[in-house]
Structure 1
């Protein structure tokens, strides 16, 4: 590219040939430019209602562009520039001068865009997530949550997600979400235990469907509950009892509470110090994780009263635990993944695809597969990895969004949640793609329908023998129409989609 360009203050451009020495250039009459991208031998900058282009990063031309929404997002890829407006508009251009309003998603607020191996992604506040393989056909995965999402779980045919500000949302398909008025305000961790949902925090509430909630007295004064599990005929709650002095932080005492029906609770006589921050049950025992004196702790109990503890000195803390397929899997910061069949002897898992410096925040099991999500430690980008047995793990590709905090699976797909209300949906099982088409105004329009979030390559042929690449598309879960803009297509042309 030869020149680095950075936009920060209104009307000012900083240029450099080496990234070390910078020169400021004032743009006469320019308002605040926010994003810059390079492609097709030119720079393009956007901000507010303004677009500027430059061949050298020094001399900039103001382009005529009429829009009712300020531009906040910009990326270059697949031979084109893609810009996003704060009211959900998506605009494309090959040269930064002539722009086409491609689509609009009211209610979304794309403020950042990028292009990767599988296409474009735009993200923004309140759960804005727009995806496109080619910049022309877009799918909307907007959630509509203004907060960072911290936890998600699946049960009774429903996904339940909680935000850092204790908002609860439900969804049947992972794409359309409903904010629930009841149940909120208690905590930001949700669980599905035995046959109902639970939300834990400064209290405990349960629900059969994620919509109608019941508060429970757990026998602990001023509780701060961390997790709930079920096994050996009893429910088990782990957390603290808090005393709030007139000044200073609360005084916390470890607490456990148990129940045989999930509604009537009684505090247990003793609790390990520190108590488990997360729980799972399997092979006849509860397994919990904690941190003490800067060292990760793994603990187990058959009755919730008597606990054995094992330190794991290679990790300072742990973040999630799940039991499935006869094994416990525990994850944590610094790419920590541990497995055990009995909850007392632990082994570090292997990574067939190496990954380092990853803070793993959550682990789940769905449709015969373990999945863990987190964030790259330094930059905070989202990360995910999968495993069939809990021992051998491979990193998997996720859109370039901020770090992920929770993951759950069910109904044939997985859902991961994270900062700015981001929700990612990954198909586990896919229905076959359906293709159709017709002639329209002298051009061919291809009709496609497939599992939401699935990528496929569209190819064309004139003889069903030799196939040529045409386009890459992200399925939206609904019917999509793609127009073949090839000049003068032959009368006999075949199309196919390859996943």
Structure 2
């Protein structure tokens, strides 16, 4: 009996000890954090194309000449006629290049961009239009119809092409960017394959314009404080500079009626039949920057910018290149290039 009681006591004691222990709670597996997907980045909005310029400043002047000039957001800087149409080129504030075409000089196709390049001038010859330009990356392009263009041809940054002329079966391009070797001139028969630059005019000379007539090219420019002209029969080999009198920079040259006519940045002109010997400077309108001179329809015409008393683009005409009409305002913005209508 004692043995039974003792066993019962041991059993109860064991149970009591077991009841005093903390219960073993199985660990609940930790749920791994669920990574929230990142918010997708909003796609970059495409850059809105700038407002294309109007063609309002491409002007038909008396059904004799087409004249281009500045608009609110573009400077129409070049125009040429060929293959039954006019092609106008220009540049915008962001160095964008613009082109438009017209068969009648009145109705223009929608303006298109041609590369992020500012186009400064255009010429037609050998069945092609050729444009040149861009202030920071000189280049050229060619087209048969003025609408479909070749790939851009890039040249050395320092060249800075501004003017192009066609004559004697080739295109000749001059630059306003004078460097220590002189001002570069290049030429091409097809607008695709170009000669290496020929540096002319002397150290840091700038060439501002070029014309063709009487069997030669004549380019004009300035070096230090002296105006000069250089001549060439092939656009490749150029003469030493011939001095043009006057202190105001020569800026434009045209040929017609057997003579070259040069205009300055202060409304003056000088005339030559050979590009070597020049007439005394004659004032047309003091303060007018002469931008272009062209001959057609039996007369010369010039464009200019006047700042005072009334700012804007002006034109003047002459039969002989020496006696000019009083400049008349044609636009409230600057005018630049001219081409004769057929």
Per the normalisation by structure 1, the TM-score is 0.47
What is the DSSP-based 3-state SS (H/G/I as helix, E as strand, rest coil) of the residue aligned with 2:87?
strand
Contact 2:56–2:71 at 8 Å: present in 1 too?
A: no
Structure 2: gaps (5+ residues): 1-51, 58-69
**Which has the greater radius of gyration?**
2
Give the distance between the partners of 1:128 and 1:197, measured in 2 at CA.
Answer: 19
Q: Deviations over 1:165-202 (max 9, x none)?
A: 23222223333222443535333322223242221122
Q: Deviations over 1:130-165 (max 9, x none)?
A: 9xxxxxxxxxxxx99732323333333322222232
CA 1:157–1:349: 2 relative to 1, 3 Å: farther
| Residue 361 (1) aligns with residue 291 (2) | yes
Structure 2 partner of 1:236:
172
Residue 147 of structure 2 is aligned with which of 189, 194, 211?
211
CA 1:286–1:369: 2 relative to 1, 3 Å: same
Structure 1 partner of 2:101:
170
Contact 1:332–1:359 at 8 Å: present in 2 too?
A: yes
Contact 2:79–2:89 at 8 Å: present in 1 too?
A: yes
CA 1:253–1:181: 2 relative to 1, 3 Å: farther
Deviation at 1:316, TM superposition (A): 2.8
Contact 1:160–1:190 at 8 Å: present in 2 too?
A: no
Q: Deviations over 1:69-122 (max 9, x none)?
A: xxxxxxxxxxxxxxxxxxxxxxxxxxxxxxxxxxxxxxxxxxxxxxxxxxxxxx
| Residue 266 (1) aligns with residue 266 (2) | no
Structure 1: gaps (5+ residues): 1-124, 131-142, 243-249, 412-499
Q: Which has the higher helix share?
A: 2
CA 1:298–1:400: 2 relative to 1, 3 Å: same
CA 1:348–1:156: 2 relative to 1, 3 Å: farther
Contact 1:315–1:334 at 8 Å: present in 2 too?
A: no
Give the distance between the partners of 2:248 and 2:258, measured in 1 at CA.
Answer: 26
Deviation at 1:216, TM superposition (A): 5.6
Residue 329 of structure 1 is aligned with which of 261, 266, 272?
261
Deviation at 1:224, TM superposition (A): 2.2
Structure 1 partner of 2:325:
394
Q: Deviations over 1:378-403 (max 9, x none)?
A: 34232110011212211253445223
CA 1:218–1:257: 2 relative to 1, 3 Å: farther
Q: Deviations over 1:283-306 (max 9, x none)?
A: 122111112223322222223223
Q: How does 1:453-472 map to 2 (within 5 A)?
A: none
Give the distance between the partners of 2:325 and 2:316, measured in 1 at CA.
Answer: 5
Q: Which has the higher strand share?
A: 1
Aligned length: 266
Residue 73 of structure 2 is aligned with which of 112, 127, 146?
146
Contact 1:219–1:266 at 8 Å: present in 2 too?
A: no
Deviation at 1:314, TM superposition (A): 1.5
Contact 2:270–2:282 at 8 Å: present in 1 too?
A: no
Q: How does 1:245-264 map to 2 (within 5 A)?
A: 254-264=183-193
Structure 2 partner of 1:295:
226
Structure with greater contact order relative to length (CA < 8 Å, sep ≥ 6)? 2
Contact 2:230–2:238 at 8 Å: present in 1 too?
A: no
Residue 246 of structure 2 is aligned with which of 286, 303, 314?
314
Deviation at 1:127, TM superposition (A): 5.0
Give the distance between the partners of 1:277 and 1:150, measured in 2 at CA.
Answer: 14
Residue 196 of structure 1 is aligned with which of 115, 128, 133?
128
Give the distance between the partners of 1:261 and 1:362, measured in 2 at CA.
Answer: 25
Give the distance between the partners of 2:71 and 2:109, measured in 1 at CA.
Answer: 9
Give the distance between the partners of 1:269 and 1:189, measured in 2 at CA.
Answer: 21
Contact 2:292–2:336 at 8 Å: present in 1 too?
A: yes
CA 1:358–1:268: 2 relative to 1, 3 Å: closer
Off by >6 Å, runs of 4+ in structure 1: 250-253
Contact 1:319–1:333 at 8 Å: present in 2 too?
A: yes
Note the aligned Cα RMSD (angstroms). Answer: 3.4
Structure 1 partner of 2:6:
none
Give the distance between the partners of 2:54 and 2:112, measured in 1 at CA.
Answer: 18
Contact 2:55–2:108 at 8 Å: present in 1 too?
A: no
Contact 1:203–1:216 at 8 Å: present in 2 too?
A: yes
